[in-house]
Amino acid sequence: MRIDIVSIFPDYLAPLRLSLPGKAIDRGILELGVHDLRSWTRDVHRSVDDTPYGGGPGMVMRPDVWGECLDDVCPDDALLVVPTPAGVPFTQATAEEFSTESHLVFACGRYEGIDQRVFDDAARRVRVREVSIGDFVLIGGEVAVMAMIEATVRLIPGVLGNNESHEQDSFSDGILEGPAYTRPQQWRGLSVPPVLLSGDHARIAAWRHEQGLARTEALRPDLLAGPTVSAGPDHTA
Ligand code: 6GU
């Protein structure tokens, strides 16, 4: 997979070369390009924004600079992802979809956003997705892009050590993951639940599902209200 990111703060994206995406880069699974939007300015002030038509606070990013940038960075076969609090929610399903793409381009806006015509124009030749990572407002898209890339890259086959690791993730079956334990068996007067020591894999799987369901009911009842919750190992028809 190839990922390109355009930002006026390219240094913000440096952590992507560490950790899991960094390992995927080292192993040749991922190619990463980080681009400074100001490289596409033509004026001496290298300005990327201007005041909004219709008035109001803040600044809007200029279509001419973004347009030339995307002409260079975003080929027709890429998926153009625009991080914005006004986008559709990014979920595990989005990460799974992104992980099957061969080329993702992320366009990070700042200020009050990017001139809408940039995306209307890009949509004439590429698929454009405006995506939000939650109901809160960030200063710019960079941190949101890092979250989306981490969620996406770990799903690419061969990136995680253990191929099964993400099949048991919270959300992949519609409920949260339950608690985990390791040695020692007794710690500060607290014991590991005996079922986990039983060696009975069916009982352990059923217990884990119950724990996940209880956690979901307590913390995220909204996930159970939806139509796509898995029945789990002890309810299968
Ligand atoms: Cl994707 N971008 C920005 N700037 N703010 C956000 C967001 C994205 N998702 C939630 N808040």
The CB of 132 under 6 Å from ligand 1? The reply is yes
Q: Which amino acid does the sequence have at 43?
A: D
Mutate to test the pocket of ligand 1, among 61, 132, 152 (most ligand atoms within 8 A of CB): 132
**Cβ-count burial 13-39 (b if 16+ within 10 Å, e if not):** beebeeebbebbbeeeebebebbbbee
d(CA 79, CA 159): 21
Q: Percentage of the chain surpassing pLDDT 90?
A: 83
Establish whether 9 is an annotated binding residue: no
Other residues' Cβ atoms within 10 Å of the Cβ of residue 114 = 24
pLDDT tens digits for range 33-83 = 999 999 999 999 999 999 999 999 999 999 999 999 999 999 999 999 999
Establish whether 135 is an annotated binding residue: yes
pTM of the model: 0.90
pLDDT band at 117 (very low <50, low <70, confident <90, very high): very high
113 alpha carbon – ligand 1 mean position (Å): 11
Would you say residue 165 has pLDDT above 70?
no
Mean pLDDT, residues 196-222 taken together = 98
Q: Please state the atom number of ligand 1 nearest to the C-alpha of residue 135.
A: 10
What pLDDT does residue 236 have? Answer: 42
